[in-house]
Chains A and B, each alone.
Chain A
Amino acid sequence: GAVVSQHPSRVICKSGTSVKIECRSLDFQATTMFWYRQFPKKSLMLMATSNEGSKATYEQGVEKDKFLINHASLTLSTLTVTSAHPEDSSFYICSASLAGYYEQYFGPGTRLTVT
């Protein structure tokens, strides 16, 4: 149980274009979903927290206009990287938690490369 999927697993896009990453909880309803970014050999950096039907809460230093997050349903959250630049290249991971529980269950991650 508690399976989270992400799509796509890898994406390459050109500088200036936008790319959307989907995060789905497959066997549970996720009241809260989280988006992280991870640099090579570094730990996870929380970007934003989203609750279904509400605006996302962004961490300090994360540009909300660049990283658009939508949590339209209890099983789907999307992260759109707008006007991507090479410095946005990274490993993006989402996680989800069940109502009443504190654990977060992570997706497999999306490797974004901006050329």
Chain B
Amino acid sequence: EVQLVESGGGLVQPGGSLRLSCVASGFIFSNYWMHWVRQGPGKGLVWVSRIHSDGGSSTSYADSVKDRFTISRQNAKNTLFLQMNSLRAEDTGVYYCARAADGYNYFDYWGQGILVTVSS
């Protein structure tokens, strides 16, 4: 069974940092592109970032988080990360990790989500 479990969220002050983790199980993690998607309170889904299956060859970011967030992965530990720096109030929301289906651009499995609150 495919499982994605996020952790690392919480309350942080504006300008602060957090590191989210997503532990994968039930599939060969190193074979899949992985993404982060967030959802502000009462709002829609917003794509944040993606990383190539090998972890090093390709990463992409939404303009709103570029130069502040860094996506990475450790395939040996089946773990995806999102390092979030210079956090703003508008970064508040639930963050989901999602797996991109093999050879496709859709997300076939999502984690349960982790709440990040940026507030003083």
Same complex origin of A and B: no
Task: Give B contacts to A, CB under 8 Å.
Answer: none
Task: Give A contacts to B, CB under 8 Å.
Answer: none
